[in-house]
Structure 1
Amino acid sequence: MAVKKVAVIMGSDSDFPTVSAAIKRLKALEIPVEVHVMSAHRTPHAAAEFAQNAVQNGFGVIIAAAGKAAHLGGVLAAHTTLPVIGIPIKSSTLDGLDALLATVQMPSGIPVATVAIDGADNAAILAAQMLALSDETLAAKLLEMKQQMADGVAKKDAAIQEKVAEL
């Protein structure tokens, strides 16, 4: 069974510094990723066509990053049955709250799972968790990642306990 790809679509190339965290995480998990710039408003036909063909092109999840009006996730979700994860991008306007509300407030029947403003890393992890439902190897990688996080917290707690004992 071929590993499903994740599409990372950003509304503007200015979103790349934020989105790069998702790309790095997906690559670290050995998930094939394809990255494109498409605009819900400037290239709506290209965005719709991409979403309509995403399943047959081997994608399992689409991540959509957009700021301000942030309609990209909704446009993509309207044209596919794949899960779409929205990353609201912080911009100079309203510190990303506008993008958060535009991404999360979707009409019934067109869901867009939404992470925090600039939450690219969590978007990648959520995409991986979705793919891991049918990929035991990926599920094992995610379990290892969670164990590493837990080990890191335990080390920090031990260090704090030593500092507390010195008081």
Structure 2
Amino acid sequence: MNSKFKNQSSKVLILMGSDSDFEVMKKAAKVLSDMDVPFELDVCSAHRTPDRAKKYAEEAEERGVEVIIAAAGMAAHLAGFLAAHTTIPVIGVPIASGALNGFDALLSTVQMPPGVPVATVGINASENAAYLACEIISIKYSELRNKLKEKRKEMYNKVLKKSEEIKTKLQNI
């Protein structure tokens, strides 16, 4: 991926509770790719493969992972489970699914006990999870921080352009 990273190992680990989460989580993968952040993505369930999930969390730091993004729907225990087994920052992405359309996943992810925090983004907000992961690791990598600043400038300019378009439309009423 990015030759600017001193260690080419994955800096961000994205774990999904199910392969059905991929449609949401591919947006996070796209953000990380666009930012040239080395990452890996896999399916790992806190309920169906707890030993595997625990191993991912416990070995992440020694593998060079600096942030974990965990996505799950319904009971959504993956992010909290991973956070319980590592001190690496964990970002939870509640996935819209089931009868409550993600609200249960949001509450399961955000309501962590003191000492085991999980940063939580909105339901299906995998892009924000990726941007937050980038912001966290940009403390260490100034080139990434500069890319984030450029991205913010692009967003700013896009809003200004839309503003001008609306003003033009208003004149034509």
Q: TM-score range by the shorter chain?
A: over 0.9
Instruction: Tell me the matched-pair count.
Output: 167
Structure 2 distance, partners of 1:93, 1:74, is 22
Letter in 2 for 1:2: N
Structure 1 distance, partners of 2:172, 2:78, is 53
Determine which of 116, 124, 132 is the counterpart of 2:122. Answer: 116
Mapped pair 1:163 → 2:169: yes
1:95 counterpart SS class: coil
TM-score of the two chains, using structure 1 as the length reference: 0.97
Letter in 2 for 1:53: E
1:140 counterpart SS class: helix
The corresponding residue for 1:20 is: 26
List 4+ stretches of structure 1 deviating above 2 A. Answer: 1-4
The corresponding residue for 2:87 is: 81
The corresponding residue for 1:2 is: 7
TM-score of the two chains, using structure 2 as the length reference: 0.94
The corresponding residue for 2:40 is: 34
Gaps of 5+ in 1: none
Determine which of 60, 64, 67 is the counterpart of 1:61. Answer: 67
User: How far is the alpha carbon of 1:73 from its aligned partner?
Assistant: 0.2
Determine which of 95, 104, 119 is the counterpart of 2:110. Answer: 104
Gaps of 5+ in 2: 1-5
User: How far is the alpha carbon of 1:32 from its aligned partner?
Assistant: 0.6
User: How far is the alpha carbon of 1:7 from its aligned partner?
Assistant: 0.3
User: How far is the alpha carbon of 1:103 from its aligned partner?
Assistant: 0.2
**Alignment RMSD, CA only?**
0.9
Query: Percent of counterpart pairs with the same letter?
Result: 50
